[in-house]
Structure 1
């Protein structure tokens, strides 16, 4: 009845079907801005508001299309499953603040690295806000989330926004390695959980940023780059 659970052993495949004209037109039709609300199946974390980063609000905005596709993704699973959303639309002010926050975090952890090295590490996890494209979260097409089961977080192997190789989506697809201090049983559970999250989101039309198991895109610049097409969503700050 829920084939995605049975197919979770098929792994993570970053080959995406290119969107059809009809699918792109659908993204345009449902491009309006909406506020995400807490519900039985979708809970909101407001991660950066809790960090008191500049520009954050105590509410969460996204594109209507993103919300509809989240519902479509969850329909592939039993009703005990849900989403916990960490972040959706992000203002440019918050984008700057987050980049600085992660940069300073990495600087404290790796005092031997140069500015350019720290900058590149930070940039691999947070879009630099002055790049010549609309940052994915600023467009409203990107969303950071995880899965829950009976309102309990599923084990994904890292915390949200952990800057490490373990956060890479396919990290647990490699052969088990005890040096990471994770027992084999937990390793396999994490692998399955990530596969379920990745595949229900992919099936719904999202793409995943491979450095972050929690980050998914729809109609934004990162989604467009993967599909080799034009992005559909400009900055939501101008709307």
Structure 2
């Protein structure tokens, strides 16, 4: 992909949260069932993050778009999903951890300033029906690329690195990139290109974060409304409860 990654403004969260949601009720599905070249590595579970789950779930529409994106990769490469639907407890843990780290390092910053800095990389934890955290909708995915040996390509920063270099466009600003920076630019353009071609939008502060169907996607795509609200994987208990209710109704 030779096309430059465009410079995009950060979302105006108060306006994003005003976008109407009309959930289309697509279920969550496990991405680990996907065929190659789509792979899964539930990063937060592997890191031992509290409340993280050992699977990456997405809405059905996201799943199909991930497959479409992965099929655009050069032969031998894979698209790796690191995180997708995220329990509220994980969102709260990530937010608090980054906020506390910033507060320790920047003691003169006000609470409002610390919140703004934190939200650059972690959305505000929310279960509000009209404004859920993006990952809580099953419409956000964190992804990267693997080479033919299953190693992650150099994207310039680590996944979830709270750095200015994590901004998707950051390396495009280098006037004379060296060999490593040129490789990073190529890799980011490839990831950005296949994901946006599949209908996803990107969060400008995170090269790994892409959305479809939720409020953040609606904000960047210009859609009138979001089609994914807060959701969660179905459970055996919930399925049995529905079955019992149907039986009782008859």
| Shorter-chain TM-score tier | 0.7 to 0.9
Q: What's the counterpart of residue 9 of structure 1? A: 2
1:121 aligns with 2:117: yes
2:159 aligned residue: 160
Residue 210 of structure 2 is aligned with which of 191, 216, 222?
216
Q: Which of residues 134, 137, 145 in structure 2 aligns to 1:136?
A: 134
Higher CA-based Rg: 2
User: Runs of 5+ in structure 1 lacking a partner?
Assistant: 1-7, 16-26, 178-182
Aligned residues of 1:176 and 1:187 also touching (Cα < 8 A) = no
1:14 Cα shift?
6.6
Match of 1:24 in 2: none
State which of 168, 188, 194 in structure 2 corresponds to 1:194: 188
Secondary structure, counterpart of 1:152 in structure 2:
coil
Q: How far is the alpha carbon of 1:149 from its aligned partner?
A: 1.2
**Contact in 2 for aligned 1:89/1:137 (Cα 8 Å):** yes
CA distance in 1: counterparts of 2:44 and 2:61, whole angstroms: 23
TM-score, normalised via structure 2 length: 0.78
Hey, what's the Cα distance between the residues in 2 that align with 1:85 and 1:137?
A: 13
Mapped partners of 1:238, 1:72: distance in 2 = 23
Question: Comparing both chains, which one has the higher relative contact order based on Cα–Cα distances under 8 Å and sequence gaps of 6 or more?
Answer: 2
Cα root mean square deviation, aligned: 2.3
| Alignment CA distance shift 1:14-1:199 (3 Å) | farther
Aligned to 2:188, the other structure's residue is in SS state helix
Residues 117-169 of structure 1: CA deviation (Å, up to 9, x unaligned): 22210011111023751111100010001011111211100001111110000
Shift of residue 193, structure 1, vs aligned partner:
0.6
Corresponding residue pairs, total: 215
